[in-house]
Amino acid sequence: MMFRAQRTANTSTLEASEAFGWGWAAHANHDNPTRKSWLLRCFFAGFCSSVAAIIIGFFGFIGFVYSLDRFEQSPQTRADGIVVLTGGAQRIDDAIDLLAKGYANRLLISGVNERTNREQISRLNPGQRHLFNCCVDLDYRARNTIGNAIEIRRWTERNRFASLIVVTSNYHMPRALVELEHALPKIQKIPYSVAATIDPHNWWHSFGTTRVLFSEYVKFVAVWVRTRFERDPEYSAAAKIMSGGAPMMIADPTTR
C-alpha cells in the first residue's frame, strides 16, 4: 500500500510539473545527442571547406607566381601603339626605349600624376626627349588599373589602332591584361613585362616580395571574377567598390 501511494504521488507530481511547464527538463536530454551531432557535422563540413579553400588558394598562388616573367623579353613583332601603365620609372624608361627602337609609332603613358608635366618626364629620358614632342601622349585621368583600361580604350579607338604593346611590371601584367581584354577584346595585346624590381621565383626569400605578390594575386582573382559578370568596365559598380570608393578616373585636367 505504501509503495502504491508513493507511485501515485510521483505520478501526480510529474503531471503537475508538466501542467505548469516544468516538464521540459525530462525531454531535453533526448534532444541533446541529435543537436550535438548536427553541430559536429556543421563544424566538420566548415573545417573541410576551409582547408580545401586554403589548399586551392595556395596552389593557385603558386601557379600565379611561377607564370610571371623573370626577365624582360623584346616583343616578337611591331604594333600600332605602345601603352605603359604608370607605377614605376622603369616602366616608362622601357616603354620609351621600345618606341625609340621602332616597335610602334606612338606611346601612351597612362595614369600620370596631375602634378607631373611633360617636361619633367622627358628629363628622366634625356636621350629620347625629341620623342615627347611628336609621339608621346600623357593620360592624367586614370587612377587605377581599370581606369587605365578605359583610357587606353579611348586612346586606341581615337587612333584606330589594332594592336598594342602593353608595358607594366611582371607581377601586375596578368591583372592588366584581364582588364584590357575586357575593355578591348578585339585588339591584339603584346605583353612586355618589366622584371627589374621583383624576381617572382624567389618570393619566399623576402616578406615584402611575398606580400606584394599575394596582394596582386588576390586582386587578379577578384578582377577575373568581376569581368566574368559585367559588360562595360566604364560603368562598373563592382570596380568602384573594389577600389574602396575611390574614383577610377578624375575630371579632364588642363592639357599639358
Q: Is 46 helix (H, G, I), strand (E, B) or coil?
A: helix
Q: Which of 57, 70, 67, 84 is nearest to 222 (CA)?
A: 57
pLDDT of residue 34: 74
| Average pLDDT of span 25-39 | 59
Q: In the chain, what percentage of residues exceed pLDDT 70? A: 79
pLDDT digits 0-9 by tens, 2-24:
334 444 444 444 444 444 443 44
Taking the C-alpha atoms of residue 173 and residue 180, their distance in angstroms, rounded to an integer, is 10
| Average pLDDT of span 119-143 | 86
Q: Determine what percent of the chain falls in helix, strand and coil, rounding each to the nearest 5.
A: 60, 10, 30
| Average pLDDT of span 110-122 | 87
Q: What DSSP string runs through 114-167?
A: TT--HHHHHHTSGGGHHHHHHTEEEE--B-SHHHHHHHHHHHHHHHT-SEEEEE
pLDDT digits 0-9 by tens, 170-180:
999 999 999 99
Bridge partners for 14 per DSSP:
none
Ordered by where they begin, the domains of the chain are 81-194+205-242 (3.40.50)
pLDDT digits 0-9 by tens, 69-95:
888 888 999 999 999 999 877 899 999
Least-confidence region, from 52-61, 133-142, 151-160: 52-61
